[in-house]
Structure 1
Amino acid sequence: MTPFKKVTLFCHRWLGFISGLVVFIVSITGCLFCFQDEIQDAMYSYRTVQNTGKPYVQPSQLIAEVKKNFPTVSPDYIYYYGAERPAGVLANQGKDGYHYVFLNPYTGKITHHEKPQTNFFIIVEYIHLYLLLPPAIGKWIVGVSVIIFMVIMITGLILWWPKRKSDRKRSFTIKWGGRWRRVNYDLHNVLGFYATAVAIVLSISGLAIAFEPVSRAIYNTANVGRNITYKQEVSEPKSDSLKRTGVATQPVVDMAFAYARQQRPQAQMFLIHNDPALSGAIGVGAYPKSMHYARATGFEFDKYNGKLLKSYIYEKKSPGLKLTEMNYDIHVGQILGLTGKIIAFLASLICASLPVTGFIIWLGKRKKKPKAVRNVVHRRTHKRELAIIK
């Protein structure tokens, strides 16, 4: 082994020891989360409703229904997930966190409510993001471990790369008929190779979701050569409470929702934010496909008079903004539909196995006894010595 590969192997091994446990946890939770929508749809009847063909009830009616049943909450986010899905209201309870209320979008009646922190897949998501630690701490532990894991994948590719053409076939296949140690060795190397490209994409998209500088770097890279500044494109306008002229005659949230539906009649999903802590404006996002968060068009309205403050038309967005808004769909694989989810699931499963198979390889080398050195005597020399003795 060359000195370069010795150093590479040293880095690969010890970086694996440092990050292995976190990588295993993050990868396993990623596997579980890939199909969380499909699993929950199969488990919970409240996640689907019958499409009656009637118009949706107004957002203000959903808010009123939630306030009637939960007087102390602030309904900050309203969701219309699709024609055959319930509407949802994420209501702020202050120190008690949030309350998630599901309603029939055609009748406005509550069908289910829960604390998000009691939902199994929300717990899985928090383990994936923060290891159930305080977010400020857990985010960094996960983030650093993911960066280390990307280095491990690159060093592993360098170590795996076959020297001779005759070794390539063996390097791309698993010798299932071999001893279990050989099978484990092949599982680590061969599966690691096949998962490397997808694992790096999933890692970068995850880092972009968690860390604003990474997201901004992706944005700037995709916009190379374009005269677009990040802050101008993504900045949210604010309502001016001193200019309340032309007060709306109907709830602004209803006006905002109606405008978004008129502008994007083919959109399947709408997300409305009415959170005063964000900007004081009311925003509506229109999404072409239910439960998919890419390719959105957004609108911001003055919360006092319903005036349109800013539009985020998808076709006019820069390549960088389009790409950064795809991060979630890329990260869970749904950017490619069911096929993408399967690829992301398998890649995450392989990533979870790599620390285990790698540790077994290291453990096997430590326990391996040195072979006894045989004293080989050349046959002719042995015969000559016998002749001398005679």
Structure 2
Amino acid sequence: MNPLVSETEVQTTAAVEPQPAEQAQPGLFRTVWRWHFYAGMFASPFLITLAVTGMLYIFSPEIGFYLHRDLVYVSPEGTRLPPSALLAAATTYAGQGEATELMALSEADRSVVVTVSDKEAKQKREIFLNPYDASVLGELDPKQDGVRNFFKVVLDIHRRLFIGTTGRVIIELVTCWGLLLFCTGLYLWWPRRREKVKGVWVPRLKGKSYMVLRDLHALGGVYLLPVLFLIVGTGMFYTVLWGRGAMAVSVVSHQGLDGLSAIAGGKGKQKSEEEKPAPPTEAQIDAVWEYASRTYPDRSLELVLGKSSAEKINVRAMNGHSTGTYGSYKYDNLMVDPAQTTLISNERLADHPAFWMHGWTYPLHVGSIGGPATKVIWFLACVVLAALPVTGLWMWWKRRPTGKSGFPRRREHRLPLWLTGAVILCCLFFPLAGISVVLALLVDLVWFRWIRNRSETPQSGSAA
């Protein structure tokens, strides 16, 4: 948010137009600016990647619904048919295989999707039906769906950079340094003269190109800083080290040390050699579905026939980003007794000791927490996040002295005790970032001493 300026300009600005706060702690200002510069240099390509992929993914449900609108949208006419009729229509259309899932979104103008699995052909087909007359609208092969595969690639880049666990570690490190950039940028922007408006609160769009870049860089970040903090901060919950650590702390606080087995993998699922229980009847399915619809009238429902039997039927009630709904993410996994239409068990996301925070961290991360309006704001924040590294590097390139790197030099300066303590606490709270800070300080110290010794050593061949 603060321009990545050269040291020459900082000296010139301080000499021509000194500011009281900077005069009081000039070393601190230069130190913060230097960390902001190098953090930006390191994180820029990754921040741009995260911002662009996040920007694409924000509206992925809406884009998918639009591109498949012939399959997704229907005209609500009459009363919805029971699931048994829809399952029968889908299996008849498919010709072979068995229905394993039925998904019905909460909106009245949406189709119902029945997944038909053919074990012999090792293939799944998604059959889209009109829930009001059981007519087939079409089908999709999940593996051949171009829209779905595109967003899978986007998400894989966003989470792993296409390189698995190594990519997740890099993403976590960049996320931590992104928070550092926000904090240092806010400090560097902080107005030190109350009467100054242009360049502090209002961008100067006329004048030198560097000045325009500086204002767009600073103010774009400042005005969307709360949203950027939410996006990047909630992203920490899905990182490989800090995210798992947060889950472990939550589990221990709820269940003690014994609960950590849930994160470590828990008890492995053992395949039963016994015969499968009898499947539920059509009447049982319809009765359980009516019970779930009455209990969760505002949620999308999914009937999981692969885990259902005459003794218990599995229904999931959910709303969230994947279903194109807004607000906090809710997920209830129900097991219902079809004979008595009573609840056997309910695994609620909100009650899960490791994942309960997912109900609000994910909607805050993708912008679906407040509906389309917040998604638009989040989209703009991603645009700004992608532009900040570009404008910052652009400013550095324009202001660097000819033939020199323009990198800020290290100066001996003792940080205030409170800032040292804050840095140590942040390094402990974000351990991966802490390791990188220690390594950066060691490299910086070695490099600084090498440069100083080189400047103090007499050149060979000089006069005695």
Sort the TM-score into its range (normalised by shorter chain).
0.7 to 0.9
**Whole-Å separation in 1 of the counterparts to 2:287 and 2:198:** 63
Picking from 19, 24, 27, the partner of 1:3 is: 27
**Whole-Å separation in 1 of the counterparts to 2:188 and 2:115:** 49
Q: Displacement, 1:61?
A: 4.3
Q: Say if 1:124 and 1:243 are closer, same or farther in 2 by CA, change over 3 A.
A: closer
Helix, strand or coil at the partner of 1:355 = helix
Picking from 291, 303, 307, the partner of 1:259 is: 291
**Whole-Å separation in 1 of the counterparts to 2:241 and 2:109:** 34
Q: Which residue of 2 aligns with 1:362?
A: 396
**What letter matches 1:53 in structure 2?**
G
**Whole-Å separation in 2 of the counterparts to 1:207 and 1:63:** 45
Structure 2-normalised TM-score? Answer: 0.62
Gaps of 5+ in 1: 371-390
Q: Which residue of 1 aligns with 2:315?
A: 284
Whether the 8 Å contact between 2:53 and 2:154 is mirrored in structure 1 is yes
Q: CA RMSD in A?
A: 4.5
Identical pairs, percent = 21
**Whole-Å separation in 2 of the counterparts to 1:97 and 1:6:** 61
Segment drifting more, 299-308 vs 326-335? 299-308
**Whole-Å separation in 1 of the counterparts to 2:152 and 2:277:** 44
Structure 1-normalised TM-score? Answer: 0.73
Q: Displacement, 1:364?
A: 1.3
Helix, strand or coil at the partner of 1:170 = coil
Does residue 1:156 correspond to 2:191, yes or no?
A: no
Q: Which residue of 1 aligns with 2:150?
A: 123
Superposition pairs for residues 1-390 of structure 1, below 5 Å? Answer: 2-43=26-67, 44-58=69-83, 61-62=86-87, 65=90, 69=94, 71=96, 77-81=101-105, 82-89=107-114, 100-106=126-132, 107=134, 109-115=136-142, 118-120=145-147, 122-130=149-157, 133-167=162-196, 170-209=199-238, 211=240, 214=243, 217=246, 250=281, 256-264=288-296, 266-273=297-304, 283-287=314-318, 291-292=324-325, 294=328, 296=330, 298-301=332-335, 308-312=343-347, 317=351, 323-367=357-401
Q: Displacement, 1:85?
A: 1.0
Residue deviations 1:213-255 (CA, integer Å, cap 9, x gap) = 627738967x99x96778899999x999699999675267655
**What letter matches 1:119 in structure 2?**
G
Q: Displacement, 1:34?
A: 2.3
Segment drifting more, 181-190 vs 84-93? 84-93
Whether the 8 Å contact between 2:74 and 2:130 is mirrored in structure 1 is yes
**Whole-Å separation in 2 of the counterparts to 1:309 and 1:240:** 22
**Whole-Å separation in 2 of the counterparts to 1:103 and 1:6:** 64
Q: Displacement, 1:341?
A: 1.0
Q: Say if 1:112 and 1:141 are closer, same or farther in 2 by CA, change over 3 A.
A: farther
Q: Displacement, 1:135?
A: 4.2
**Whole-Å separation in 1 of the counterparts to 2:364 and 2:43:** 23
Q: Say if 1:93 and 1:179 are closer, same or farther in 2 by CA, change over 3 A.
A: farther
Residue deviations 1:358-378 (CA, integer Å, cap 9, x gap) = 1101111224699xxxxxxxx
Q: Displacement, 1:147?
A: 2.4
Q: Say if 1:112 and 1:365 are closer, same or farther in 2 by CA, change over 3 A.
A: same
Q: Say if 1:253 and 1:178 are closer, same or farther in 2 by CA, change over 3 A.
A: farther
**Whole-Å separation in 1 of the counterparts to 2:144 and 2:164:** 14
Segment drifting more, 9-18 vs 190-199? 9-18
Helix, strand or coil at the partner of 1:22 = helix
Segment drifting more, 249-258 vs 316-325? 316-325
Q: Displacement, 1:336?
A: 0.8
**Whole-Å separation in 1 of the counterparts to 2:181 and 2:304:** 40
**Whole-Å separation in 2 of the counterparts to 1:10 and 1:244:** 68
**Whole-Å separation in 2 of the counterparts to 1:361 and 1:93:** 58
Segment drifting more, 330-339 vs 84-93? 84-93
Q: Displacement, 1:187?
A: 1.1
Q: Say if 1:359 and 1:116 are closer, same or farther in 2 by CA, change over 3 A.
A: farther
**Whole-Å separation in 2 of the counterparts to 1:66 and 1:15:** 57
Q: Displacement, 1:202?
A: 1.1
Helix, strand or coil at the partner of 1:88 = strand
**What letter matches 2:47 in structure 1?**
V
Q: Say if 1:97 and 1:198 are closer, same or farther in 2 by CA, change over 3 A.
A: farther
Helix, strand or coil at the partner of 1:301 = strand
Residue deviations 1:176-205 (CA, integer Å, cap 9, x gap) = 122222111111111111222211211233
Q: Say if 1:22 and 1:48 are closer, same or farther in 2 by CA, change over 3 A.
A: same
Q: Say if 1:362 and 1:253 are closer, same or farther in 2 by CA, change over 3 A.
A: farther
Whether the 8 Å contact between 2:70 and 2:137 is mirrored in structure 1 is no
